[in-house]
Amino acid sequence: MNNQTTPSQSIIYDSLKQRNLAVEELRSVFRYRDLVFQLVRRDIVTRYKRSVLGLLWTMLNPLGTMLILSIVFSQLFNMRGVYPAYIMTNLIAWNFFSQTTAASLNAMLWGSSLIKRIYLPRTSFVVSTIGTGLVNILLALVPLFFIYWVTGAPLHTTILLLPVSIFLLAIFSLGIGLILSTFVVFFPDVAEMYPILLTAWMYLTPIIYPEELLVNMFNGWLLRLNPLFPVIKVFRMVIFDGKVPALGEWGVAAGIALGTLLIGWVFFTQKSKSFAYYV
């Protein structure tokens, strides 16, 4: 008891100097980075450590969905040979987006019981779901490569650009996750509504069918107004198409992803002032 050490640094908090909440939050979440790491670790450990099947399910899940959809749709879309590889690629990107955003809602609901009792950076819960998603997407690449190998779909050197595509997908998902979790603090029923929205979103994005099928719908506005589409497209291009996206395609995807993150971060941190008044 005698050799107690005080926490590393003496910190002065002044509510008058909290003008720029977005920047303060960024600093704070960096200082609490070990917390984000522990939250990711908790999610991974509780999912995988207790059962070998947990790990297997993560890989079997997209395989199963892919199999069903392939049987149903491959005839319809006339993409017979490569269809399983096509759908598997899209599903992995889609699963990352849908799972992280849905998880951030639940993480926020869980965390809201904590943030009304102790101080911690409110974004840490949402940021940690992206961390968990990144671990999961790396695991999901195993069945993806397996399908490419089995179906003989070619893999190209453009796959080296995959980290960039995953990065854009991650920051886009973080932005959407932040916006959704702000709403869920005030209106818990958002968590009930979101799965419905997700289902609609999935069918309005070329995930299970080829892009050509949707490209002309509503004079092309359907895809133009879908912010997820350009982000998923650069993901698909580097794996499935084997094409380096044009500068414009990168630009649109990066602009949307960064813009969404910026809007989400500012919206969340501005509203987080009043979180403790509601939760």
Partner 1 sequence: MFNLIPEPQNDTAIFLNGVSVRYRLPNERVATLKEYTIRLIQGKVRYNSFLALNDVNLVVKKGEIFGIMGRNGAGKSTLLKVISRVLIPTRGRVWINGIVSPLLELGAGFHPELTGMENIYLNATLLGHSRKEIKQKIQEILDFAEIGDFIEAPLRTYSSGMVGRLGFSVATAWLPEILILDEVLSVGDAAFAQKCSERMRSFRESGATVLLVSHSIDTIRSLCQRALLLEHGNVLEIGPASEVGDRYNQMIFGK
- Give contact residues for partner 1 (rule: CB under 8 A): 1, 4-8, 10-16, 18, 31-32, 34-35, 37-39, 41-42, 45-46, 50, 113-120, 183, 186-190, 193, 273-274, 276-277
- Between 117 and 219, name the residue whose CB sits nearer to partner 1: 117
Give the residue among 236, 234, 216 at the shortest CA–CA distance from 224: 216
103 with 178: CB under 8 angstroms?
no
DSSP secondary-structure letter at 244? Answer: P
Q: What is the SS3 assignment for 163?
A: helix
Of 190, 177, 185, 181, whose CA–CA distance to 278 is shortest?
185
- Other beta carbons within 10 Å of 186: 13
- Cβ closer to partner 1: 89 or 123? 123
User: Exposure of 149 by Cβ count < 10 A (0-12 exposed, 13-18 middle, 19+ buried)?
Assistant: exposed
Q: Residue 252 Cβ, how far from partner 1 at the closest point, in Å?
A: 31
By beta-carbon proximity to partner 1, the closer residue of 53 and 142 is 53
CB atoms within 10 A of CB 78: 9
Q: Shortest distance, CB of residue 111 to partner 1, whole angstroms?
A: 9
Return d(Cα 56, Cα 263) in angstroms, integer: 36
Smallest distance, Å, CB 83 to partner 1? 38
| Closest distance to partner 1 from the beta carbon of 129 (Å) | 15
Q: Which is nearer to partner 1, 216 or 270 (CB)?
A: 270
Nearer to partner 1, 46 or 199 (CB): 46
Smallest gap from Cβ 121 to partner 1, in A, equals 10
